[in-house]
Amino acid sequence: MTVKVLRRVAILVVSLFVASIVVFLFMAVLPGDPAQVALGVNATPELLAKTRAEFGIDRSLVTQYFSWIGGVLHGDFGRSYVTREAIGPQLLDRLGVTLWLVGAGMVVALVIAVPVGMFAAVRHRKPSGATVSGLSQIGVAIPAFLAGIILVQIFAVQLRWLPSGGWTPPDQDAGQFVRGLILPALSLGLVQGAVLTRYVRSAVLDTLGQDYLRTARSKGLLPAQALRRHGLRNASVPVVTVLGLQLATLLIGAVVVERVFVLPGLGSMLLDAVSSRDLLTVQGIVLVLVAGVLLVNFVVDVLYTVLDPRLRGS
């Protein structure tokens, strides 16, 4: 068990290191001059040269990489070329927004997927179950940004019940914060919910067919009761795995949803930074996102062993 976890940690560290190199190289080959973008159309060659030196982009790639990664290891992500401010605190601030969004999207997805998936599984031979399965198929096919645009049209533009976008920090005005989060969370969660519904359904169906459940049923329990008392934990193993995988998708979806709903999270920060060639900022954001995904996978692996006693060997 401990060895297993340690091996996972080692894999995590190596993956992060490799990811940092890939991110750095990818940004290095992007065409365009950060100094030119920062200075605009009236920049003189002298000023451009001075600014390149100031940014440190006149040095060799190897030097640049090691000075960047050295800083990151000390928690220093460098200074933005555009705002000239420290990137680290800005990352934390934006990460908070993205986590709220992803968290709320996850809640929406689970609230949809668990009961609907169970319903579809228990009634899989009845028309109602088939209908629910069909609906979830349609849900899977709708991308998050499209869901967002439709929701904004209905609830913000036509009905004017909810804001079409914008962000209010929870400590500033809790009511406004919640209202601002509803539509983005729904955009993100509906699609994920539809995806998860299918996994929940098949996991539950799988469990329903197991011997121990038949035993429980023979004691006179209804399928749903038997499932609740004996089957849920087993059914949750594949669902947790998928949840972990979905989290990466959720993060990608969040980038798009943040743009639609004007949320100052990592996603909108990333788009701005790429277009203004704010390379250090892009590197910092991507590293944080990659670290997030890798960490989630790590946690899922560990949870797996907790949930499923059969995996605790070795």
Partner 1 sequence: MRARLHLAALAVLLAASACSAGSSASVSSGPDTLSVGFTAEPANFDFTHADGAAIPQALLYNVYEGLVKLDAQGRIVPLLAKSWTVSPDRKTYDFQLQPGVKFSNGAPFTASDVKFSLLRVKTDWTISIKSAMDVVDHVDVVSPDHARVVLSKPSNGWLFSLTSRLGAMFSPTGVADLANKPVGTGPYEVASRRRGDSIVLKENPAYWGRKPAYSTVVLKYIADPTALNNALLSNGIDVISSLTSADSIPQFQGDDRFTVLQGTTNSEVTLAFNNKRAPLNDPRVRQALTYAIDRKAVLDLVFNGRGTLIGSMVPPTDPWYEDLSGVYPYDPAKAKQLLAQAGVKNLNLRLRIPNLPYAVSAAQVVQSQLADVGVRTTIEPLDFPAVWLKQVFTDHDYDLSIIQHVEARDITTFGKPTYYWGYDSQRVQQLLAEADGGTPQQQVADMKQVARRLNTDAAADWLFLYPNVIVAKNKVTGFAKNQVSESFDLTGLRPA
Question: Contact positions toward partner 1, by CB under 8 A?
Answer: 30-34, 36-44, 47, 82-85, 90, 93-94, 107-108, 110-111, 114-115, 149, 152-153, 156-157, 160-167, 169, 175-176, 178-179, 182, 228, 259-265, 268-269, 271-272, 275-277
> Distance from first CA to last CA of the chain, Å, rounded?
7
Side chain identity at residue 191, one-letter code: V
Q: How far is the CB of 193 from partner 1 (least distance, A)?
A: 12
- Proportion of the chain in helix, strand, coil states, percent, rounded to 5: 80, 0, 20
The position carrying tokens 């420290």 is 86
The tally of CA atoms less than 13 A away on the side-chain side of residue 212 is 11
Q: How far is the CB of 231 from partner 1 (least distance, A)?
A: 14
Residue (74 or 84) nearer to partner 1, CB: 84
The position carrying tokens 């894999």 is 11
Q: Which residues does 101 contact at the CB level (< 8 Å), separation at least 6?
A: 181, 184, 185, 188, 254, 257, 258, 263, 265
Q: Where are the alpha helices (DSSP H) in 30-44?
A: 34-39
Residue (162 or 287) nearer to partner 1, CB: 162
Q: How far is the CB of 102 from partner 1 (least distance, A)?
A: 16
Q: How far is the CB of 124 from partner 1 (least distance, A)?
A: 19
Residue (1 or 157) nearer to partner 1, CB: 157
Residue (185 or 287) nearer to partner 1, CB: 185
Q: How far is the CB of 77 from partner 1 (least distance, A)?
A: 15
Residue (42 or 218) nearer to partner 1, CB: 42
Instruction: Tell whether the torsion through CA atoms of 137, 290, 91 and 86 is positive or negative.
Output: negative
Q: How far is the CB of 260 from partner 1 (least distance, A)?
A: 6
Residue (44 or 314) nearer to partner 1, CB: 44
Distances (CA, A) of 180 to 174, 239, 248: 10, 29, 23
